[in-house]
Amino acid sequence: MNPKLSEYTAQERAAACHVSGRLLAKVVVVHDPGDDWFALAVLPASARLDLLNLREAVDRPRLRLATEAQFARLFPDCDPGAMPPFGRMYQGLQVYLDSGLALGDQLVFPGGTHTRKCGSR
């Protein structure tokens, strides 16, 4: 089965990897069109991004979810939607980590591709 088709959502990917959605990090790219600023919001697969809260926290009232077309160039070695949560490796992007993930002692995250299975090397 093609993981790209069977793991459509982060929560489904967590189930496929046999980990809790609270341990699997999903990476959401946000964009401020005013100055073409991008950042990563990293949150549990089971959570939804509170964009209003993030706008206030980063003092960017125009902050939006980035489209794949907007952010694909930032991650040239990654499948769209499979970016790891390492913003400094990619254009020095700032990373905003959900506190629930920061408190845990384990974190599972995408490794740049949809085609490798969980735990494969």
State mean pLDDT over 13-25: 61
For the chain, the structural domain boundaries read 26-41+49-102
Position 119 pLDDT exceeds 80: no
Average pLDDT, the chain: 77
Does 36 have pLDDT greater than 50? yes
CATH architecture of 26-41+49-102: Alpha-Beta Complex (3.90)
Report pLDDT digits (tens) over 71-110: 989 988 888 777 888 888 878 899 998 887 777 676 666 6
The pLDDT of residue 65 is above 50: yes
Share of the chain above pLDDT 90, in %: 36
User: b/e for 75-92, b at 16 or more Cβ within 10 A?
Assistant: beebbebbbbbebeebee
Confirm whether pTM is higher than 0.85.
no
For residue 23, what pLDDT is reported? 64
Distance CA 23, CA 46 (A): 9
Task: Count the Cβ atoms, other than its own, within 10 Å of residue 114.
Answer: 19
